[in-house]
Copies of this chain bind each other. A is one copy, B any other.
Amino acid sequence: MRHQLKTDIGTLLDKVRASTPLVHHITNYVTVNDCANMTLAIGASPVMADSIHEVRDMVSIAAALVINTGTLNEATVAAMHAAAKQANAKGIPLVLDPVGAGATPYRTETVRQLLQQARFSVIRGNLSEIRVLAGLDEKTRGVDATAVFDGNALQQETRIFIENTARKLNTTLAVTGAVDIVSDGKRTCFIENGRPEMARVTGTGCMCSSLVGAFLSVTDDAFFAALAGVLCMGIAGEIAYGNLQPQEGNASYRNRIIDAAYHLTAARLAGRARLTG
């Protein structure tokens, strides 16, 4: 099955490149340029727009919408709500990147309200952010799901937690970290690609969400799109790491990651993918 998956993801990549889908982003101003270049690298077309006066129109002509909470303000939060509702109404797939959920009540509450008012095809975050999302849900049920993670969470426990949370939130979760996990509650896959040095580059998570948005534009299978996005990001990180010159650090690494995505092919994906589960 894993072999077939790799082939299918390669086909999906070719499909993005052939159709250059428009991926609308409402995102933070820190990593927005990298998200735009990563979207272009994978073969899609980015558009960034966050005014309440145009997000409904913009998302209506887009193939997917990526909402990223990295920098929030009243105006963009209102735009996120309007765009998410419109995307749902038009059947346009939605990605949520809940950057910093849990760091401040404002971020947590914004994410909570987004989850209440719209359905997201994929939510991509790190384990800590996803735990906050699960906790939001749990709170209303009087149970503290985060207890599962006390002590050293084992991979199996994490898997069960992610699967349960995906079902509860009615979404596909893409949880990135040392090992990435993608699950829609029924299907689950671990991805062991990527490099620890990616954490020293701002925006690798955001760029991964942009990739998921690009893949969601060309398939109805959100699990598959999330897997493709996470896998491409990890493999781009590995290839880029191999291309680093001795004096190069995190700024050059950023460029080389985007460059590697630009040169990704179905064959390279299949040759490097480390999928288990």
Contact surface of A with B, Cβ cutoff 8 Å: 28-34, 36-37, 40-41, 46-51, 53-54, 57-58, 61, 70-75, 100, 103-107, 200-203, 239, 243, 247-252, 254-263
**Which of B28, B252, B263 is A249 in contact with, Cβ under 8 Å?**
B263
Which residue of chain B is the closest to A243 with respect to CB atoms? B247
Q: Assess whether B255 is in contact with A255, with CB atoms less than 8 Å apart.
A: yes
Give 5 nearest A-B pairs by CB, closest first.
Answer: A249-B262, A249-B259, A251-B258, A54-B106, A57-B104
- Which residues does chain B contribute within 8 Å of A36, judged by CB atoms? 30-31, 202-203
Q: Establish whether residues A251 and B106, one from each chain, have CB atoms under 8 Å apart when the complex forms.
A: no
A252 to B256, CA, bound (A): 7
User: Can you list 29 contacts pairing A with B, beta carbon distance less than 8 Å?
Assistant: A29-B48, A30-B32, A30-B33, A30-B36, A33-B33, A33-B34, A33-B203, A37-B201, A41-B200, A46-B202, A47-B100, A50-B71, A51-B106, A53-B73, A54-B72, A54-B105, A57-B104, A57-B106, A58-B104, A200-B262, A239-B247, A243-B247, A247-B260, A249-B261, A249-B262, A250-B262, A251-B258, A251-B259, A252-B259
Interface residue from B37, B71, B254 paired with A250 (Cβ < 8 Å): B37
Q: How far does the alpha carbon of A73 sit from the alpha carbon of B53 in the complex, in Å?
A: 8
Beyond contacts A53-B72, A54-B104, A61-B103: 9 other A-B pairs, Cβ-Cβ < 8 A, are A31-B36, A36-B202, A41-B249, A48-B71, A248-B259, A249-B259, A249-B263, A251-B254, A251-B257
Assuming the contacts A32-B29, A247-B259, A250-B258, asked whether A103 and B58 have C-beta atoms less than 8 A apart, the reply is: yes
